[in-house]
Amino acid sequence: MRIELAGLSLDPVRDLEQLTEFSFMAQALEAGAIVAVMAGAIGWFMVLRRQAFAGHTLSVVAFPGAAGATLAGLPLALGYFGACGGAALVLAAVSRPAGAGRAGESAAIGAVQAFGLGLGFLFVTLYSGQLNGLESLLFGTFLGITAAQVQTLLWVAVAALAALALIGRPLLFASVDEGVARAAGVPTGLLGLAFLLLLGLAVAATAQITGALLVFALLVTPAATAQQVTARPGRGLALSVGLALAVTWIGLAIAYFSPYPVGFWVTSLSFGAYVAVRLGRALLARRAEPLGVPA
Amino acid sequence: MSVEALRLDGATARRDARIVWSGVDLSVREGEFVAVLGPNGSGKSTLLHVLLGLLPPAEGTVTVLGGPPGAASSRIGYLPQRRGFESGTRVRGLDLVRLGLDGARWGFPLPAALSPAGRGAERRVAEVIELVGASAYASRPIGDLSGGEQQRLLIAQALVRRPRILLLDEPLDSLDLSNQGAVAALVQRICASEGVTVLLVAHDVNPILPYLDRVVYFAAGGGVAGTPREVITGPTLSSLYGVPVEVLETSDGRLVVVGTPEPPAHHHSRHEHAH
């Protein structure tokens, strides 16, 4: 299969000018950058806390939120933030008894997720078959972002990152070593709730441009890749943010010159980076292993 | 050495409706190495929770470093029970020890290059890791380390804020016998060199017996304290359990407690228990 790169001149300056020539593209790059930085940072904590399933549930719930807002004639953003914020509170409630059975917790989260999908289906059916709308709810509207949306995203991201910076160190402590953190006076329950709300905020903001199903390309994959590369918290966070930003911008750029959607490129690039890092680590581990000793 | 580090007077601990133990008197001086012994569910960890202020005593008084429990939490190092880190945990041992130093503080640490306080913190972390002999592997991810290596780093984490009291909940549980002795020797060395009071919850007294000053033995809703030779005897344990219990001493000085009223499953454990 030959990928048609319409209009690509291979002259970097001209191609860059082309990329930013239209305001929709400039806004997509801006919104993509904002969302990538926020998702990269919050996603790093999500992967560390092993809350990917909760993150996935929040992103699935973004879909009925948006569909419900469309049906009720409310602003889409309200649907996203309302649904994800509400779901974060529900998840915090079901995961309240700390350490008391992970299995019960993930089952409860799964139940929330299934119900969310069902609601979304209902709302879409009631809205009587707007299939175009459905596709963009699930897979995003990278290229239909307005300047006002970019503004909103920016404020949300600034608030979320400021909150994350404030709780960063105790949150890291509570995430890797909950019992000792609690004994040292860290309010671990409160931090867990605060983090789920931040995660909900990040998911709602990200889902508006990546769609409900591709949130994970920015939330989990760059963070998981970064944690494979380094066990140092500072470097891991920076790498996660950098990777999220890189896959978003490169994905947008490739999509501009190719007939395939942005979401596909962003997910493929982040997946490619993840696979490459895992393979590289496996090879390194193999080389470090003495010959003849099974791993 | 005569300063009292902690004291219980007629203390009762209750979890939900159940009384775990009652009428316990205990006085531990600074710099003592005390083992907390007893069968499963007898309230060994509960004692640590009471001393930390996580569980208020239902009756009696508890004093820790001259104040109520919980008031002194910054001067207590705590190592909770059975914390194996999953193999995927991508945080270095070094980071874990550092969190013990300032992890409860809001905000996020600046890079050490920009902050003198950060450099001081890094020096203290390196020093305490050296003290427990973990320098060789402290910068590897904690999930990749063996149980003994993790345990040394966790002891370093509990020690990093120069606590006056160290509460260690079954730190030897996941270790093989030679490592149990080595970690107990390390704890005694720290006790002596830093003047720290140590309460160590253990399942088996024998690997740590040579290093101990005193023991607290919990069973059947009560507890007694004293030197190992006073407490781990037939008469003392018989009156604690309320049934005849014998203590046998093997030729190499190991103590074996027989006749305790316990579920049969416990008699199939991997080595002799002191209960």
B34 interfaces chain A, CB cutoff of 8 Å? no
A295 pLDDT exceeds 70? Answer: no
* Burial of A53 per CB tally in 10 Å (0-12, 13-18, 19+): middle
Helix (H, G, I), strand (E, B) or coil at B79: strand
pLDDT tens for each residue of A52-61:
999 999 998 9
A291 pLDDT exceeds 60? Answer: no
Amino acid A6: pLDDT: 61
Alpha helices in A127-232 (DSSP H): 131-139, 147-176, 178-183, 188-210, 215-219, 221-229
8 Å CB contact of B104 and A173: yes
B236 interfaces chain A, CB cutoff of 8 Å? no
CA dihedral B235, B241, B242, B245 (to 10 degrees): -50
Residues in chain A closer than 8 A to B92 (CB atoms)? 231-232
Residue B91 in any domain: the answer is yes
Amino acid B271: pLDDT: 43
8 Å CB contact of A183 and B80: yes
Amino acid A294: pLDDT: 44
8 Å CB contact of B80 and A180: yes
Name the residue range of residue A186's domain. Answer: 12-284
Helix (H, G, I), strand (E, B) or coil at B26: strand
8 Å CB contact of A232 and B108: no
Find, in chain A, the residue whose alpha carbon is nearest to that of B48. Answer: A183
A47 pLDDT exceeds 90? Answer: yes
CATH of the domain at B52: 3.40.50.300
More confident residue, A10 or A271: A271
| pLDDT confidence tier of residue A214, bands split at 50, 70 and 90 | confident
Amino acid B86: pLDDT: 77
Residue B275 in any domain: the answer is no
**Which one of B54, B98, B99 would you mutate to disrupt binding with A, by most A Cβ within 10 Å of its Cβ?**
B99
**Which one of B87, B90, B168 would you mutate to disrupt binding with A, by most A Cβ within 10 Å of its Cβ?**
B90
| pLDDT confidence tier of residue B143, bands split at 50, 70 and 90 | confident
8 Å CB contact of A228 and B141: no
CATH of the domain at A182: 1.10.3470.10
Helix (H, G, I), strand (E, B) or coil at B194: helix
Residue A193 in any domain: the answer is yes
To the nearest whole Å, the CA of A142 is away from the closest chain B CA by 33
B4 pLDDT exceeds 80? Answer: yes
Under a CB-based contact definition with an 8 Å cutoff, are residues B202 and B208 in contact? yes
- In chain A, residues 225-264 whose CB comes closer than 8 Å to chain B: 227-228, 230-234, 236
* Closest residue to B92, CB basis, from A170, A180, A231: A231
Amino acid B269: pLDDT: 39
Residue A1 in any domain: the answer is no
Q: CB neighbours of B116 closer than 8 A, spacing ≥ 6?
A: none
8 Å CB contact of B106 and A179: no
Find, in chain A, the residue whose alpha carbon is nearest to that of B55. Answer: A183
Residue A295 in any domain: the answer is no
Amino acid A289: pLDDT: 62
Q: Please state the rounded mean pLDDT for residues A221-230.
A: 94
Estimate the crossing angle of helix A233-257 against helix A12-21, to 10 degrees.
80
Residues in chain B closer than 8 A to A180 (CB atoms)? 78-80, 99-100, 157-158
Q: Please state the rounded mean pLDDT for residues A26-54.
A: 93
B16 interfaces chain A, CB cutoff of 8 Å? no
A186 interfaces chain B, CB cutoff of 8 Å? yes
Quickly list DSSP for B136-192: TTTTSBGGGS-HHHHHHHHHHHHHTT--SEEEEESTTTTS-HHHHHHHHHHHHHHHH
Would you tell me how many other CB atoms lie within 10 Å of the CB of residue B239? 13
pLDDT tens for each residue of B171-195:
888 778 878 888 888 888 888 888 8
pLDDT tens for each residue of B12-52:
999 888 889 998 999 999 999 999 988 888 889 999 999 98
Q: Which two tokens stand for residue A162?
A: 């400021």
Amino acid A100: pLDDT: 46
Helix (H, G, I), strand (E, B) or coil at B206: helix
Strands B59-64, B4-15: pairing is antiparallel
Under a CB-based contact definition with an 8 Å cutoff, are residues A13 and A191 in contact? no
Residues in chain A closer than 8 A to B76 (CB atoms)? 183
Q: Which two tokens stand for residue B198?
A: 């140590």
* Closest residue to A181, CB basis, from B92, B103, B158: B103
**What pTM was computed for the model?**
0.84
A265 pLDDT exceeds 80? Answer: yes
8 Å CB contact of B104 and A165: no
Under a CB-based contact definition with an 8 Å cutoff, are residues B148 and B179 in contact? yes
CA atoms within 13 A on the CB side of B204: 20
Under a CB-based contact definition with an 8 Å cutoff, are residues B153 and B129 in contact? yes
pLDDT tens for each residue of A79-133:
999 999 999 999 988 875 554 445 567 888 888 888 998 998 888 888 876 555 6
pLDDT tens for each residue of B80-114:
886 678 777 888 999 999 999 988 889 888 777 77
| pLDDT confidence tier of residue B263, bands split at 50, 70 and 90 | very low
Name the residue range of residue B36's domain. Answer: 4-268
Residue A2 in any domain: the answer is no
Phi, psi angles (nearest 5°) of residue B247: -115, 120
Find, in chain B, the residue whose alpha carbon is nearest to that of A233. Answer: B91
8 Å CB contact of B54 and A182: yes
CA–centroid distance for A287 within its chain = 34
Q: Mean pLDDT lowest for which of A253-262, B31-40, B232-241?
A: B232-241
Helix (H, G, I), strand (E, B) or coil at B111: coil
Phi, psi angles (nearest 5°) of residue A178: -60, -45
A135 pLDDT exceeds 80? Answer: no
Residue A292 in any domain: the answer is no
A170 pLDDT exceeds 90? Answer: yes
* Burial of A66 per CB tally in 10 Å (0-12, 13-18, 19+): buried
Establish whether this prediction's ipTM goes over 0.90: no
8 Å CB contact of A185 and B73: yes
Q: Mean pLDDT lowest for which of A73-77, A187-191, A226-230?
A: A73-77
Phi, psi angles (nearest 5°) of residue A65: -60, -50
- In chain B, residues 196-235 whose CB comes closer than 8 Å to chain A: none
A167 pLDDT exceeds 60? Answer: yes
Sign of the torsion formed by the C-alpha atoms of B164, B170, B171 and B172: positive
A284 interfaces chain B, CB cutoff of 8 Å? no
- In chain A, residues 68-107 whose CB comes closer than 8 Å to chain B: none
Percentage of chain A lying above the pLDDT 90 cut: 44
| Total count of domains within chain B | 1
| Total count of domains within chain A | 1
A166 pLDDT exceeds 80? Answer: yes
Residue B274 in any domain: the answer is no
To the nearest whole Å, the CA of A61 is away from the closest chain B CA by 28
To the nearest whole Å, the CA of B189 is away from the closest chain A CA by 23
Residue A4 in any domain: the answer is no
B89 interfaces chain A, CB cutoff of 8 Å? yes
8 Å CB contact of A166 and B107: yes
Residue A7 in any domain: the answer is no
pLDDT tens for each residue of B190-229:
888 888 999 999 888 888 888 889 999 888 888 888 888 8
**Which one of A47, A164, A169 would you mutate to disrupt binding with B, by most B Cβ within 10 Å of its Cβ?**
A169
Q: Please state the rounded mean pLDDT for residues B230-249.
A: 80
Q: Which two tokens stand for residue A82?
A: 């309302």
A48 interfaces chain B, CB cutoff of 8 Å? yes
Residue B20 in any domain: the answer is yes
- Work out the mean pLDDT of chain A and round it to a whole number: 85
Residue A173 in any domain: the answer is yes
Residues in chain B closer than 8 A to A236 (CB atoms)? 90
B1 pLDDT exceeds 70? Answer: no
Residue with tokens 């709300």: A197
Residues in chain A closer than 8 A to B109 (CB atoms)? 169
C-alpha distances out from residue B27 to A167, A196, B36, B61, B241, Å: 39, 44, 13, 12, 22
A190 interfaces chain B, CB cutoff of 8 Å? no
Rounded to an integer, what distance in angstroms lies between the CA atom of residue A245 and that of residue A240? 9
Taking each continuous run of H as one helix and of E as one strand, the counts in chain B are 7, 11
